[in-house]
Structure 1
Amino acid sequence: MDVTHEVLNELLVIRPQSRIDSSTASAFEARCASLIDEGPAKVVIDFSNVDYISSAGLRALLVAAKKARSQGGALTLCGLSGGVRDVMAVSGFDTILGAHSDVSEARAALGG
């Protein structure tokens, strides 16, 4: 699974690409864990380039959020659209983790 990232002034922005499903969720989870270990604990996952997420992907998000919290940070989401937005709403993840329109809005929500 292709995942890009950047660090913007103590904010880690993770950008998964395409789909997060049962065949890619474990790689996504491992990549997030590695990036959170290396970088800032304030994390935004930008879903602008993701068109599908399964329950396995939701689990990977929970694991990443717990890791960020364990390091004194937090994790939030941005760039949700279409089916991904619907899955986040039905599952409550948009409320639990927060859902924002873009990275700037997500950064403000995390106090950055």
Structure 2
Amino acid sequence: MQIRTETIDGTLIAYAAGRIDGASALDFKRSMQAVLGDEKTVVVDCHEVTEVSSAGLSAFLMIARELQEQGMKFALCSMTPRVRIVFEMTGFDKIIPVHATREGALDSLRA
């Protein structure tokens, strides 16, 4: 699991890559916490995430809750079909906004 970031118009874009599972979920959560700055909006681009387990889903949920408590907006985007199915089957796409593209996520957070 790896994360690289960039800021676009005041929104932190975190590009996650690899598996987010029991072995890496805690590292993913800590890495996300470490890259957060003064941005009020955060998008996690998941196009390079290959797998998400229940531990990974839990990490996404904890991050989303922490950001919400801080008054920040959060969305996910660009999931592979395999990862998207996991979010849809578990209902996590109803809890955390999921968008097909980064642009769609950015537009939704600006609204």
Are residues 1:101 and 2:100 paired?
yes
Q: Could you report, residue by residue, the CA deviation over 1:39-70 in whole angstroms, capped at 9, with x for unpaired residues?
A: 41311111100110001111111111112112
Please state whether the residue corresponding to 1:85 is helix, strand or coil.
helix
Q: What is the 5 A alignment of 1:67-82?
A: 67-82=66-81
Q: Could you report, residue by residue, the CA deviation over 1:53-105 in whole angstroms, capped at 9, with x for unpaired residues?
A: 00111111111111211221121110112220110001111121111111111
Query: Contact 1:77–1:94 (CA<8 Å) still a contact in 2?
Result: no
Identity %, equivalent residues: 31
Aligned to 2:19: 19
TM-score where L is the length of structure 1: 0.91
Q: What is the 5 A alignment of 1:1-112?
A: 1-36=1-36, 38-111=37-110
Please state whether the residue corresponding to 1:110 is helix, strand or coil.
helix
Query: Contact 1:12–1:39 (CA<8 Å) still a contact in 2?
Result: no
Structure 2 gaps of 5+ residues are none
Please state whether the residue corresponding to 1:68 is helix, strand or coil.
helix
Counterpart AA for 1:69: Q
* Distance in 2 between residues matched to 1:87 and 1:39, nearest whole Å: 31
Equivalent pairs, count: 111
* Aligned-CA RMSD value: 1.3
Structure whose residues are more often strand by fraction? 2
Please state whether the residue corresponding to 1:34 is helix, strand or coil.
helix
* Distance in 2 between residues matched to 1:93 and 1:52, nearest whole Å: 15
